[in-house]
Amino acid sequence: MPGPLLQISPFTPSTRQSNSMVNAGIHCYWEGRKEVIAQDVVAAVSQVTSIPKDIIFRQPNWTPETWESVLQRRVRGQEAAIREVTRRLLLNLGPLREDPRKPLGVFLFVGPTGVGKTELAKALTELLFADESRMVRLNMSDFKGLAGVQRLIGPPRGIVGAGRGELTEKIRHQPYTVLLLDEFDRCDEEIQALFLSVFDEGWLADGLGRKVYFNDTIIILTSNLGQAEYRRLFREIDLTNPTRQPSQDEIRKAFMKAVARLPPELLNRISAICVFMPLGRETLLEIAKLLLDHLKERVYQRTGKFFTYDEQVVELLVAQECDPQSGARGLRRALERLEAYELNPCLHKGNQFHLRVGDGETFGQQKLEVVVETNHEPATLQ
């Protein structure tokens, strides 16, 4: 019978690694155990290497269908994009990974505004690392010329802040992450050239010449390319057949035509180009209900009070705040206004609140109102 993995013995550590193992041993000692178990070792390894415990303990039998179903709970109406991302990632996370030096994936997300491009990046971070805040997000339109390069990799030696780049420092200390590069098409050619070695070789030298490796990083580029072609497609259809909506194939061709304007050396280094589709009415209804359920849960968790809503509220939000060319962004803005002007002023008046369609109108539109319910039994959080 083999003995325990690690016996607790008094010794004086001299390195960070041994300090971590002692911390794991002390933790299990205070829990009344005489030996370190697998979970303690995983916690110690995670502390030393900055690898999330979920990565070390990941279930190897997760199927593409499992990944897709988890992501689709949060990102609605983008099944094709989710399928493309999950298949590519599972290939590179498995034994058939082509080049372990490259990033786990380099994806280009294009499509109309407000359809879930950033939301999919957040959902992917939460799925892989159990913490959405681990995502590193950079707006590439803020980085221009040599000053932008120095902001990313840090100034050279001899200048204050040498080697401390906004990008390189974050990836050096947290390599297991999702890197979201927003509006990548708007950055300068010098910035795009800087990332070519990242996409191809998997590393980037900082201002001091130290290599920062991206082989455990998922890189997502978002782009506004194709917006003009997308709007033009709607105008052309309105002129010929106002009752018809553009097909997914027509939308995909419009965006791919715009993406073709990117430099070939950049396109050849992208793992997959994911075209996000406009959201239909049924999908918008699902998103509105999802956002209201999140609001209900947040109210309960932070105040201990209850929040409910009518189904007519979902229909009204979609009818008044959404259109095919702006996606679901209007829903979030509407709920922010609702929280600020209707719900928050009522929080001190009771313990149960109900959102319904009001009798009055504002600027010709029906108004939502929050009613404080005092004559009912407390609701239960579903």
357 bridge partner residues = 368
| Range 143-172 average pLDDT | 85
Encoded tokens for 241: 């057949």
pLDDT value, residue 14 = 37
pLDDT value, residue 2 = 41
Domain spans of the chain, in order of start:
6-49, 64-225+262-275, 281-372
pLDDT value, residue 82 = 94
Angle, CA of 363, 366 and 372, to the nearest 5°: 120
Encoded tokens for 125: 């971070």
Token match 């509220």: residue?
Answer: 313
State the Cα–Cα distance between residues 360 and 367, nearest whole angstrom. Answer: 6
- Tell me the DSSP string of 96-121: T-S-TTS-SEEEEEESSTTSSHHHHH
For residue 243, name the pLDDT band (cuts at 50, 70, 90). low
Element (H, E) at 244: none
The least confident of 44-48, 101-105, 177-181 is 44-48
308 bridge partner residues = 354
pLDDT value, residue 9 = 36
Strands (E), 61-176: 105-110, 136-139
Tell me the one-letter amino acid at 151.
R
Residue of 173, 264, 269, 254 whose CA lies nearest to 212: 173
- Which CATH superfamily includes the segment(s) 64-225+262-275? P-loop containing nucleotide triphosphate hydrolases (3.40.50.300)
108 versus 378: which is more confidently predicted?
Answer: 108
The least confident of 104-118, 132-146, 236-250, 294-308 is 236-250
* Domains 64-225+262-275 and 281-372 equal at CATH topology level: no
How many angstroms separate the first and last alpha carbons of the chain? 49
pLDDT value, residue 218 = 94
State the Cα–Cα distance between residues 291 and 337, nearest whole angstrom. Answer: 13
Say if residues 71 and 124 touch (Cβ distance below 8 Å).
yes
pLDDT value, residue 343 = 85
State the Cα–Cα distance between residues 196 and 267, nearest whole angstrom. Answer: 10
State the Cα–Cα distance between residues 359 and 306, nearest whole angstrom. Answer: 23
Exposed e or buried b per residue across 30-55, where buried means at least 16 C-beta atoms within 10 angstroms of its C-beta: eeeeeebeeebbbbbbbbeeebbebb
Residue 1 clears pLDDT 70, i.e. is over it: no
Quick: pLDDT tens for 244-295: 777 888 889 989 999 998 999 999 999 999 999 988 889 899 999 999 999 9
Quick: pLDDT tens for 222-234: 998 888 888 888 7
The domain defined by 281-372 folds into Helicase, Ruva Protein; domain 3 (1.10.8)
Residue 204 clears pLDDT 80, i.e. is over it: yes
For residue 358, name the pLDDT band (cuts at 50, 70, 90). confident
Quick: pLDDT tens for 173-194: 888 899 999 999 888 888 988 9
| Range 107-124 average pLDDT | 92
Tell me the one-letter amino acid at 335.
L
| Cα within 13 Å of Cα(305), Cβ side | 18
pLDDT value, residue 10 = 38
Token match 């593409």: residue?
Answer: 64
Token match 């009912």: residue?
Answer: 376
For residue 55, name the pLDDT band (cuts at 50, 70, 90). low
53 versus 310: which is more confidently predicted?
Answer: 310
Token match 């996606």: residue?
Answer: 327
| Range 76-81 average pLDDT | 92
Residue 80 clears pLDDT 50, i.e. is over it: yes
- The mean of the pLDDT values for the chain is 81
Q: What share of the chain in percent tops pLDDT 70? A: 81
The least confident of 41-45, 114-118, 149-153, 297-301 is 41-45
| Range 155-173 average pLDDT | 84
How many CB atoms are located within 10 Å of the residue 219 CB? 24
Quick: pLDDT tens for 147-159: 888 899 988 887 7
The least confident of 20-29, 296-305, 314-323 is 20-29
pLDDT value, residue 26 = 56
* Helix, strand, or coil (residue 20): helix
pLDDT value, residue 369 = 76
233 versus 17: which is more confidently predicted?
Answer: 233
Say if residues 212 and 172 touch (Cβ distance below 8 Å).
yes
For residue 322, name the pLDDT band (cuts at 50, 70, 90). confident
For residue 376, name the pLDDT band (cuts at 50, 70, 90). very low
Angle, CA of 246, 247 and 252, to the nearest 5°: 100
